[in-house]
């Protein structure tokens, strides 16, 4: 039985050491059939950096600062002026309503436990996703920062990235990809 854990993350920036996951989606594929999915909105860790844009100006704040009395009062007044995250356009103030990381980790491990026996060495999932290198760096760091050393109990660390498969198809001229 082949299992693929398709993952996609949205983050507060590009550095997994300083930034954090704020959205995580996972699909469980078993023998080519989509079996289950989960999507979570997650608050960053208190010391995580949040990159944002406001009126064309880029900035960064520590998530703890976003929760300070100064910013909390602004959010309570309905001001969303801190800005949006680049690429995703997620409003920084809305992240305050997301799940705490520890609660999200419990939901993630519950999801994985439903489909993978972490005690059976032969029952592990491949990790799949577009540009999955970034996703797995953040996903691994998320587990690590919460003191959970058992992500490897669910996955075999073999990455499946359709991006590379598309490049091969393009090279073989089976599926031409336009240049942008």
Instruction: Mean pLDDT check: name the lowest of 22-26, 70-74, 86-90, 167-171.
Output: 70-74
Tell whether 179 is covered by a domain: no
Residue 169 pLDDT > 90, yes or no? no
Residue 77 pLDDT > 60, yes or no? no
Q: Are residues 38 and 71 in the same domain?
A: no
Q: Are residues 105 and 158 in the same domain?
A: yes
Which band of pLDDT confidence, cut at 50, 70 and 90, is reported for residue 28?
very high
**Among 96, 89, 55, which Cα is nearest to 74's?**
96
Residue 81 pLDDT > 60, yes or no? no
The dihedrals phi and psi of 153, each to the nearest 5 degrees, come to -75, -15
Residue 38 pLDDT > 80, yes or no? yes
Q: Are residues 36 and 117 in the same domain?
A: yes
Which band of pLDDT confidence, cut at 50, 70 and 90, is reported for residue 62?
confident
Domain count, the chain: 2
Percentage of the chain lying above the pLDDT 90 cut: 62
Q: Are residues 163 and 111 in the same domain?
A: yes
User: Checking phi first, is residue 131 left (phi over 0); if not, alpha (psi -120 to 50) or beta?
Assistant: left
Q: Are residues 55 and 7 in the same domain?
A: no
Structural domain that includes position 67:
49-96
Q: Are residues 36 and 64 in the same domain?
A: no
Q: Are residues 133 and 111 in the same domain?
A: yes
Tell whether 166 is covered by a domain: yes
Q: Are residues 60 and 36 in the same domain?
A: no
Tell whether 177 is covered by a domain: no
Q: Are residues 66 and 128 in the same domain?
A: no
Q: Is the pTM of this model over 0.75?
A: yes
User: Checking phi first, is residue 76 left (phi over 0); if not, alpha (psi -120 to 50) or beta?
Assistant: alpha
Q: Are residues 114 and 92 in the same domain?
A: no
Which band of pLDDT confidence, cut at 50, 70 and 90, is reported for residue 177?
low
């Amino acid at each position: 039985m082949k299992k693929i854990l398709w993952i996609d993350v949205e983050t507060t920036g590009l550095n997994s050491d300083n930034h954090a996951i704020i959205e995580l989606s996972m699909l469980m594929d078993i023998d080519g059939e989509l079996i289950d999915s989960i999507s979570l909105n997650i608050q960053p860790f208190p010391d995580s950096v949040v990159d944002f844009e406001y009126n064309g100006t880029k900035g960064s704040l520590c998530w703890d600062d976003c929760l300070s009395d100064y910013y909390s009062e602004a959010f309570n007044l309905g001001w969303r002026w801190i800005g949006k995250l680049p690429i995703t356009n997620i409003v920084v103030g809305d992240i305050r309503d997301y799940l705490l990381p520890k609660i999200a980790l419990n939901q993630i491990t519950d999801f994985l436990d439903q489909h993978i026996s972490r005690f059976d060495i032969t029952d592990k999932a491949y990790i799949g996703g577009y540009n999955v290198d970034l996703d797995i760096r953040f996903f691994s760091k998320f587990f690590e920062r919460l003191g959970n050393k058992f992500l490897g109990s669910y996955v075999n660390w073999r990455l499946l990235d359709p991006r590379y498969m598309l490049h091969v198809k393009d090279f073989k001229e089976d599926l031409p990809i336009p240049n942008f």
